[in-house]
Amino acid sequence: MQSTEQVVPIRTPETTFNDEEVVTVLMPDGRLAPEHDPKLPVETVVDLYKAMVRTRVIDEQLVRLQRQGRIGFHIGSLGEEACILGSAAAMRPNDWIFPCYREFGALLFRGLPLQTYIDNMYGNADDVVKGRQMPDHYTGKPYRFGSVSSPIGTQITQAVGFAWAARFKGKDEVSSVYFGEGATSSNEFHNGLNFAGVMKAPVVFLCRNNRWAISVPSEKQTASRTFADKGVAYGIPAVRVDGNDILATFKVVRECVERAAKGEGAFLVEMLTYRVGGHSTSDDPRAYRMQDEVEQWRRTDPVLRLRRHLDERKAWDEARDEAWRQEVEAELRACITAAEAKPKPTLESMFEDVFEEKPWHLEEQAAELLSGPRAKDHH
């Protein structure tokens, strides 16, 4: 049911982005602000747009699959595609990405086959984590992409440690790590920033400020003026960027990556965006926020914003858009059909990847398990 009360006044895009310190490139009508233009080739901008559309199409279909009971869970990125893909595109191929849990678009952008991702959503025999995690808990070592884990903020200290180790070994690698503004209240955020500040670790902290930490609004999360201000206490330079502007996000993150790679230490980027959907398919945001707020933020849709820019440059049209969407939908349908036909992970796989040599007590447990009946089908 629709809530009749919201814990904070309705927050509009105007109250968020009308701040001179927030870096913006794309105007609402698609024109560029020349002082911040990253001057990307039009072909690159088209590729970024196609990646955003692909992410959106997949996102929407996975929600439908969950509602149909065909997958158990999905946590999407509706409305946040620009900050996720813009920052991922800004990382160099040799850099590492440590995700939160909304960044499946970044992993696909880095080259993970869509079939591999869909297999993870079903937890079938080809799932890279062998059905041991919830859906959307993916990983991709070949793509220099860490593993998703549910506990809030744990990926932050992992990214910092990885970046510091790379610097210690003389490797030209920068780590980036995604987290929501709610994770700034976690121990791992403070531990990670403090260590990175002291040790000058080459890591870029990517705070997706989407205004809601499940049902907690950002205004109730901190007394700091901004989340970027939190970098100051740890000696880490911070910048705020319009996270619904993929070109601005790319420009800011690329500059931070280049400076970190030169030995200038860590950087914090607060990407201002909005979570249009629920926190996950297990959440009904109508219980705690007004739909009027959501509708105002839909006007800043990052996909439509970049589309207006491409229209302005005469680099895209409706026919190409429809053809691309159909191509993505066809690929997705084929991946879903294949995933649903695959068997579950074997029972034996439960005991793999735990010890290099299986100890005697696991041998006994495996034998006992295999001699008994398998549990009934469930997600």
Identify whether 61 is part of a domain: yes
Residues 341 and 359 in one domain: no
Residues 305 and 371 in one domain: no
Identify whether 4 is part of a domain: no
**What contacts 24+ positions apart, CB below 8 Å, involve 185-191?**
185/221, 185/222, 186/152, 186/153, 186/156, 187/153, 188/152, 188/153, 188/154, 188/155, 188/156, 188/157, 189/153, 189/156, 189/230, 191/156, 191/157
Active site residue 279: yes
Residues 292 and 357 in one domain: no
Distance CA 272, CA 47 (A): 23
Distance CA 201, CA 167 (A): 7
Residues 266 and 366 in one domain: no
- Contact between residue 307 and residue 49 where contact means Cβ atoms under 8 Å apart: yes
Residues 21 and 164 in one domain: yes
Distance CA 87, CA 324 (A): 23
Q: Using one digit for the tens of pLDDT, what is the confidence trace for 45-76?
A: 999 999 999 999 999 999 999 999 999 999 99
Catalytic residue, from 279, 289, 305, 309: name it.
Answer: 279
Domain that holds residue 24: 13-345
Instruction: Give the closest residue to 203 by CA, choosing from 188, 218, 213.
Output: 188
Identify whether 2 is part of a domain: no
Residues 161 and 269 in one domain: yes
Distance CA 158, CA 192 (A): 8
Share of the chain above pLDDT 90, in %: 85
Identify whether 1 is part of a domain: no
The pLDDT score that the predictor gives to residue 373 is 77
Distance CA 69, CA 339 (A): 15
Catalytic residue, from 70, 190, 259, 288: name it.
Answer: 288
Residues 194 and 96 in one domain: yes
Catalytic residue, from 11, 167, 211, 275: name it.
Answer: 275
Residues 78 and 220 in one domain: yes
Count up the domains in the chain and report the number. Answer: 2
Residues 300 and 376 in one domain: no
pTM of the predicted model, to two decimals?
0.94
Q: Using one digit for the tens of pLDDT, what is the confidence trace for 313-350?
A: 999 999 999 999 999 999 999 999 999 999 999 988 98
First to last CA, the chain: 27
Residues 313 and 367 in one domain: no
Instruction: Give the closest residue to 155 by CA, choosing from 122, 180, 179, 120.
Output: 179
Active site residue 307: no
153: left (phi over 0), alpha (psi -120 to 50) or beta: left
Indicate the pLDDT class of residue 20, thresholds 50, 70 and 90: confident
Indicate the pLDDT class of residue 372, thresholds 50, 70 and 90: confident
- Contact between residue 66 and residue 281 where contact means Cβ atoms under 8 Å apart: yes
Residues 243 and 379 in one domain: no
Average pLDDT over residues 279-290: 95
Active site residue 49: no
Residues 339 and 356 in one domain: no
Identify whether 313 is part of a domain: yes
